[in-house]
Structure 1
């Protein structure tokens, strides 16, 4: 499978998504970025300052892309499958949080 492959469902996409996250440091960058994004969303909820929404977006994607470009050495699936990739980020996050996937 390549990033240009079309997937009929998220369950079909997710094994490909995981194959793009084999490097532990890449997964850790995702985890840190997603955690930071969640914290920024909470801060937005408390302050109603829209700058936190921008920070959530930048920290979440920024950390993930650093993981791909520097550790995994591949192109993030976000560019070819944005919705499935976003969903995959959170499934992978939950699996790391619950120790079903190492980070």
Structure 2
């Protein structure tokens, strides 16, 4: 689903972001990618090696884009809203691990 609306704030972008992630397997791919990215970020800190940050970027986007192109069959919002999408990826991740994602999806109209 593509919308032509311009999102100015994260608050108004969030429901759009969730609707762009209505496929459960896409959300699972995002979760895997974000978990891998988190491991790479922690490794960069632990080993004091910034090269791990490339692994974080690659793994995060690799899994997310597979989810969008092959499962959700939509264009990742990252291409239009890079900052808002990045923040929303992490928000969705934390909503998932805290058990709040179902409530957020319901508020956004995702079944």
> What secondary structure sits across from 1:11 in the alignment?
helix
- Find the aligned partners of 1:10 and 1:45 in 2 and give their Cα distance: 28
- Find the aligned partners of 1:17 and 1:94 in 2 and give their Cα distance: 15
Matched, 1:75 2:59: no
* Alignment coverage as a number of residue pairs: 102
- Find the aligned partners of 1:3 and 1:32 in 2 and give their Cα distance: 27
Q: Which residue of 2 aligns with 1:6?
A: 6
For residues 9-24 of structure 1, the aligned pairs below 5 Å read 9-24=9-24
- 1:3–1:77: 8 Å Cα contact kept in structure 2? no
Q: Which residue of 2 aligns with 1:63?
A: 63
- Find the aligned partners of 1:7 and 1:50 in 2 and give their Cα distance: 33
Spell out, residue by residue over 1:29-50, the C-alpha distance to the aligned partner (whole angstroms, 9 max, x if none): 1001001000001111111222
- Find the aligned partners of 1:97 and 1:48 in 2 and give their Cα distance: 27
- Find the aligned partners of 2:43 and 2:89 in 1 and give their Cα distance: 21
Unaligned runs of 5+ in 1: none
Unaligned runs of 5+ in 2: 103-111
Q: Which residue of 2 aligns with 1:86?
A: 86
> What secondary structure sits across from 1:5 in the alignment?
coil
Q: Which residue of 1 aligns with 2:98?
A: 98
- TM norm structure 2: 0.86
